[in-house]
Amino acid sequence: MAVRPRRASDLPAIEAASHDPETLRWLDDTPMDAADRGTSLSRTEEAWRTGRAAPLVVADATTDEPVGIVNLQFRDDAVATVAYSVFPAHRGRGIAPRAVRLLAGWALGELRLTQILLEAAEANTASVRVAEKCGFERVGSRVEPSAEGPHTLLVFACTKA
């Protein structure tokens, strides 16, 4: 598995995954449409250029096929939030924990951040397990409104040793 910048050739897989019912269940993002697809790379480049975020693709190390996405969203010079999604055909293989560990190591090491936050819906047991497998500690929770009614988000943190 590798984590790398997004490319135009990744967009069909990212778009398809954005329509997946399980993805839609847990992420607030709207599914990608043709207009989003047309501006996706420029928005990604802008996020990198301005230092707001590091949106990346998780790729198979052998084939370079995109298998998921991972994004580091900077809150300030010391703290960022990590978000991720594994594409449906690749779930259950330990991809998310490996991607989160890679990104957190890079962020805490090379970028010299002091804390990475990970937020997961309490009912999203797979995402909660990713946080736990990666050594993130639960530091709080909050209730968020949604169309289906309020849900609890668990907040996990990984800090520089």
DSSP states along 79-138 = EEEEEEEE-GGGTTSSHHHHHHHHHHHHHHHTS--SEEEEEEETT-HHHHHHHHHTTPEE
- pTM equals 0.91
Cα distance from N-terminal residue to C-terminal residue, the chain: 25
Question: In DSSP terms, which residues pair with 142 in a beta bridge?
Answer: 153
CA distance 112 to 110: 5
CA distance 74 to 157: 14
Q: Residue 29: is its pLDDT beyond 80?
A: no
What lies within 8 Å, CB to CB, of 90 at 6+ separation is 67, 68
CA distance 151 to 26: 11
CA distance 48 to 26: 25
52-106 residue pLDDT tens: 999 999 999 999 999 999 999 999 999 999 999 999 999 999 999 999 999 999 9
Give me the chain's average pLDDT, please. 92
Tokens for 74? Answer: 């900077």
Amino acid letter, 21: P
Tokens for 96? Answer: 């998310």
The pLDDT of residue 22: 87
The pLDDT of residue 71: 95
